[in-house]
Structure 1
Amino acid sequence: MLIRKPADIPSSEITPESVYLRRRELMKGAVALAGAALLPGGVSAAELKALSYRAAETAEDNPFYTSEAQTPFKDATSYNNFYEFGTAKDDPAQYAAALTTDPWSIEVEGEVGKPGRYHLEDLLKGMDIEERVYRLRCVEAWSMVIPWLGFPLSTLLARFEPTSKAKYVQFETLFRPSEMRGQRSAFSTIDWPYTEGLRMDEAMHPLTLMSVGMYGKVLPNQNGAPIRLVVPWKYGFKSIKSITKIRFTEKQPRSSWQRIAPDEYGFYANVNPEVDHPRWSQRYERRLPSSLFAPQRIKTQMFNGYAEQVASLYKDMNLRRYY
């Protein structure tokens, strides 16, 4: 090791005493930043361990497979709807770092044999995490193709032993205004906390996923960490994020968007290009990444391309009335 005498060192290279005395604090900060890179959102070690997953199959007859190009990770994590952090598409990526996701628990109530509050680590124990490449279509006519990591919602719900009275499942997002700036906004039209719901047969369908990751990583906060719903044949707002409550009900629950704008957003929210939103057409969508010169405008598919798997759920239903 070369040891330089003080006379050999320019004053510009000498570390100020105040910085030297804070070196331990700085080292701790560096370690914390390194940990944050490995564990985005402060997720627990149990969650990270749970992301030992089975990669998506590529067989054409696999309902979880699509040959469509995946949306780049950067676009999928920087263009989001998560009104708890703001209404602009880049607000979630900008502000969601304030969200604490560890510890995390989910309260289960209603028509079940095993109600209670469950720690996320306990819910993930024994779960077979798999990768599924799903399309996600938003009502504003933009879409993505994302490799989600998760497990069938049916596997989780069965653990709570729903009774014969359980006809619907309602989900609730975290309510924590101290960390979710959108919940503090005086201009918000949402009656927090945000809620969504599914019919029991929709919830138990094998396509319905509880996601804990994407692109081989744990969920970023702006995408709904630490656990969210993914229902690929419905509009994206049905895939509720950062879930803290699951409620089993006999009667159909009202979702947040039903309460806000019942003429625009129905309970089912199935992707249907034949039914226009009151303010825009649903026949086409912009696949992200998209720009003025490369819009990637494509035709919207019935049930978002999953008609073969889910159309039977709505047999004999008027899909214009039950939108």
Structure 2
Amino acid sequence: MTDETHSTPAPTPAEAAAEAAMLQDATKRSRRAFIGLGLAGLAGLGGWRWLLGRPQDEGIPAPLRKVLDFNAGLTQDYYQNTRLAPEFAKSQARAPRANGNVGLGAENFDPATWRLTVHGYAPAGTAARSHEFTLAQIKALPRTEITTELKCIEGWSVIVSWAGVRFADFLAQYPLATRSGQPIADPNHPPKEDTPRYVGLVTPDEAYYVGLELESALHPQTLLCYEMNGQPLSQEHGAPLRLVSPLKYGIKHLKRIGSIAFADTRPKDYWAELGYDWHAGH
């Protein structure tokens, strides 16, 4: 028995020439691709530098703000109060993360001393004024329960069971002021030409604030919420009263509402000032 060593046969001159040509062509293509990628990278870098050099508009470069406003305009144009967020069985509800404590103030906050101040409240036939409401007055209104998905701008979501008063039911009992001074016949569908376009909500310490279109506030699933998963709200989740608006991301679900005001101009919004979309719908 002998050991056999297998070797690769040497290429013929024609094969060697073809291989060399292939290598040369591959080198040229690689060089062109590298140069192309480099130019694209430089163009992207230049574009990014150009973008960062644009004037700021509400916390971000103006061109980006225009894109967000354009998308928001489309959202508002196609918004319908008949569109509802999906609802789930209560058994699927879970406790959400207590993301952020901006606006929750001191740890020794006493819910018993809390009051909700509404600016622009107008009892039938009277001029607009400010008025304070207790939690007992709010809880005396028709109770609504929904189990919906809370979606965070960070990318996570969780199903939560909420209970409270529909914003629309609150305004039906405590109507907002109109330009004409006439009472609103249908609080769920107030005449646009006679009512403010926006609602602003602020925490008691005024550290956190959000703005909503009046249509979003009147959405049948928008709640002034005082219970979560069958229990009164904890302080970290906004006791004694928070906003729930299932068609909006969680950054709009203001915890611990201190005041509500109505306006014709878009109210300031905490996260919009940091560069996020003011409407924050999904």
* TM-score normalised by L of structure 2: 0.57
Q: Which residue, 174, 177, 181 being the options, matches 1:162?
A: 177
1:185-239 Cα distance to aligned partner (Å, 9 max, x none): xxxxxxx521101111111111111110012111111111000100111110101
Report the Cα distance in structure 1 between the residues aligned to 2:263 and 2:121, rounded to whole angstroms.
6
How far is the alpha carbon of 1:123 from its aligned partner? 3.0
C-alpha distance 154-233 of structure 1, shift in aligned 2 (>3 A): same
CA contact (8 A) 1:71 1:144 kept: yes
Gaps of 5+ in 1: 1-61, 86-91, 176-191, 272-323
Partner of 1:128: 142
How far is the alpha carbon of 1:242 from its aligned partner? 0.3
Query: Helix, strand or coil for the counterpart of 1:202?
Result: helix
Q: Which residue, 101, 111, 115 being the options, matches 1:105?
A: 115
Partner of 2:100: 82
CA contact (8 A) 1:129 1:149 kept: yes
How far is the alpha carbon of 1:98 from its aligned partner? 2.7
Partner of 1:252: 266
How far is the alpha carbon of 1:173 from its aligned partner? 0.8
1:6-33 Cα distance to aligned partner (Å, 9 max, x none): xxxxxxxxxxxxxxxxxxxxxxxxxxxx
C-alpha distance 255-204 of structure 1, shift in aligned 2 (>3 A): same
1:89-137 Cα distance to aligned partner (Å, 9 max, x none): xxx8xx9753221121111114755532323235325312232101100
1:62-86 Cα distance to aligned partner (Å, 9 max, x none): 966325962434xx3xx2123327x
CA contact (8 A) 1:224 1:242 kept: yes
1:12-60 Cα distance to aligned partner (Å, 9 max, x none): xxxxxxxxxxxxxxxxxxxxxxxxxxxxxxxxxxxxxxxxxxxxxxxxx
CA contact (8 A) 1:96 1:222 kept: no
Q: Which residue, 172, 190, 206 being the options, matches 2:202?
A: 172
Partner of 2:280: 269
The one-letter amino acid paired with 2:197 is K
CA contact (8 A) 2:86 2:149 kept: no
Q: Which residue, 70, 79, 82 being the options, matches 2:92?
A: 70
Query: Helix, strand or coil for the counterpart of 1:232?
Result: coil
CA contact (8 A) 1:209 1:229 kept: yes
* TM-score normalised by L of structure 1: 0.50
| 2:146 aligned with 1:146 | no
Cα RMSD (Å) of the superposition? 2.5
Partner of 2:211: 197
Report the Cα distance in structure 2 between the residues aligned to 1:124 and 1:81, rounded to whole angstroms.
26
Q: Which protein is bigger by CA-based radius of gyration?
A: 2
The one-letter amino acid paired with 2:277 is G
Report the Cα distance in structure 2 between the residues aligned to 1:217 and 1:67, rounded to whole angstroms.
17
Report the Cα distance in structure 2 between the residues aligned to 1:212 and 1:83, rounded to whole angstroms.
17
C-alpha distance 257-243 of structure 1, shift in aligned 2 (>3 A): same
Report the Cα distance in structure 1 between the residues aligned to 2:163 and 2:229, rounded to whole angstroms.
8
Identity of aligned residues (%): 28
